[in-house]
């Protein structure tokens, strides 16, 4: 019996094609927009957390006037004596503004004992790792492409230090790692120091590895006491940073989408506020030919379910396709920032079945239930009265 009512509901929708398409189209659009923002935010957050494990347990910076400044390598020796600190590495990195790019590149100095990068370990697309003291560099694919450089080419980066050498490109990162390397230029620590005009004995920050990462909070407190005014960044807090940063951006995009969401609410209100004279007459006829109130309510519920389910399915498909198949045109700049060097690597979905079902039920549930009250009102009215009006 229910199957027959379901078939009847579909044919009833077919009789009111324009309204069903307007309602379903609006709903599908709203679902696609919300789903796309959720898919992309989750994907970016997961991408940022993917390299989280390789991050030092603690990073220490020195603040002056509330802004990070260089830290003395002598402070590294003071921190090395703290219990549970296994290793303190002064790091040299920073930014250089390229006028031709109208943007910053991130210069990263390589410490002497750094693990090697190669084509074999999947990091480099071509070339090899830098050799210490040879004034060489590895650049992101995107950066190298933008500068028109190929391995073997040399580049003199703008700096106020006359002693800084031009750097020879000896390798490029794989394009699938673009999200981490699009604007990165890795060179020898001495070259980085010269380019960034960092005095000997100073470092950008200190990376600390602990024997027991679970003691990070205790060690952080000791560092704060040892170096008053130092900014201590714990690895475990980074997940919160990514949630804050991408959650906030997603919030802004969703905020800008309020008109679309409002359109959805208006459509829902249209369902809640009652049914039209044609539908009212149809219900009266159904009652007159022997349909029970329960049958009528099932028919109206099925109508809403058919529109809601197909619109949700279409919306999810559109949202997913927009982000992961088409590369999120239009939405990507809003969520990833306004950089000159856009990472082109495809995003990896982080969404799971529970989230997909959550979005589906959050849309379909209220939408289907909203149809019950007006249908019940119409179904409990005397059919003769309805047909006479």
Nearer to other proteins, 53 or 162 (CB): 53
- Closer by beta carbon to other proteins, 262 or else 357: 357
Minimum distance from CB of 353 to other proteins (Å)? Answer: 5
Give the nearer residue to other proteins in terms of CB position, either 121 or 380.
121
As given in the structure block, the two tokens for residue 250 are: 């997603």
Q: Which is nearer to other proteins, 28 or 383 (CB)?
A: 28
- Least distance CB 348 / other proteins (angstroms): 4
116 phi and psi angles, rounded to 5 deg = -75, 155
Q: Is 145 exposed, middle or buried (0-12, 13-18, 19+ CB in 10 A)?
A: middle
Please say which residue, 134 or 356, places its beta carbon nearer to other proteins. 356
Report CA-CA distances (Å) from 203 to 58, 59, 192, 223.
15, 12, 11, 17
Q: Least separation, in Å, of the C-beta of 229 and other proteins?
A: 9
Token couple for 95: 């930014």
Q: Which is nearer to other proteins, 360 or 386 (CB)?
A: 360
Residue indicated by tokens 């920032």: 337
Query: What is the spatial distance between Cα 217 and Cα 220, in angstroms, rounded to a whole number?
Result: 5
Strand partners, 203: 71
**Gap between the Cα atoms of 93 and 160, Å rounded:** 16
Closer residue to other proteins in complex, CB, 224/293? 224
Least CB distance to other proteins at residue 216 (A): 10
Q: Which residues contact 349 (CB under 8 A, 6 or more apart)?
A: 39, 42, 43, 320, 323, 324
Six-digit token string for 83: 């219990």
- CB of residue 252 vs other proteins: minimum separation in angstroms? 7
Closest to 173 measured CA to CA, from 165, 182, 164? 182
Q: CA 244 to CA 246: how far, in whole Å?
A: 6
Question: Where do we find the tokens 């201590």?
Answer: 232
Name the minimum Å distance from CB 91 to other proteins.
Answer: 6
Name the minimum Å distance from CB 151 to other proteins. Answer: 18
């Amino acid at each position: 019996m229910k199957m027959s009512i379901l078939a009847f509901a579909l044919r009833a929708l077919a009789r009111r094609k324009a309204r069903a398409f307007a309602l379903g189209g609006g709903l599908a659009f709203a679902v696609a927009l919300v789903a796309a923002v959720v898919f992309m935010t989750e994907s970016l957050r997961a991408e940022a957390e993917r390299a989280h494990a390789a991050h030092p347990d603690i990073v220490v910076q020195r603040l002056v006037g509330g802004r990070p400044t260089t830290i003395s390598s002598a402070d590294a020796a003071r921190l090395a004596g703290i219990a549970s600190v296994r290793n303190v590495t002064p790091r040299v990195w920073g930014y250089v503004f390229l006028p031709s790019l109208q943007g910053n590149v991130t210069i990263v100095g390589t410490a002497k004992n750094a693990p090697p990068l190669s084509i074999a370990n999947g990091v480099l697309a071509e070339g090899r790792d830098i050799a210490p003291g040879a004034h060489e560099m590895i650049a992101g694919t995107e950066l190298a492409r933008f500068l028109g450089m190929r391995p073997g080419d040399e580049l003199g980066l703008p700096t106020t230090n006359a002693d800084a050498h031009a750097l020879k490109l000896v390798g490029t990162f794989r394009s699938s790692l673009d999200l981490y390397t699009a604007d990165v230029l890795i060179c020898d620590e001495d070259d980085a120091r010269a380019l960034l005009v960092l005095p000997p004995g100073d470092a950008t920050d200190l990376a600390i590895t602990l024997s027991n990462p679970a003691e990070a909070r205790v060690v952080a407190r000791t560092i704060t006491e040892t170096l008053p005014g130092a900014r201590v960044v714990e690895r475990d807090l980074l997940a919160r940073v990514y949630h804050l940063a991408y959650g906030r951006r997603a919030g802004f995009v969703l905020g800008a989408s309020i008109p679309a969401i409002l359109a959805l609410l208006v459509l829902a209100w249209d369902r809640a506020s009652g049914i039209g004279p044609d539908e009212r007459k149809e219900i009266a006829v159904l009652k007159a030919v022997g349909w029970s109130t329960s049958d009528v309510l099932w028919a109206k519920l099925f109508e809403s379910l058919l529109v809601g389910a197909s619109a949700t399915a279409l919306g999810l498909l559109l949202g997913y396709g927009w982000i992961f198949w088409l590369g999120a045109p239009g939405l990507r700049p809003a969520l990833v920032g306004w950089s000159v060097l856009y990472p082109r690597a495809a995003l990896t979905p982080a969404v799971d079945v529970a989230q997909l079902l959550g979005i589906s039920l959050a849309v379909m549930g209220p939408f289907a239930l909203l149809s019950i009250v007006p249908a019940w009102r119409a179904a409990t009215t005397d059919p003769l009265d309805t047909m006479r009006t």
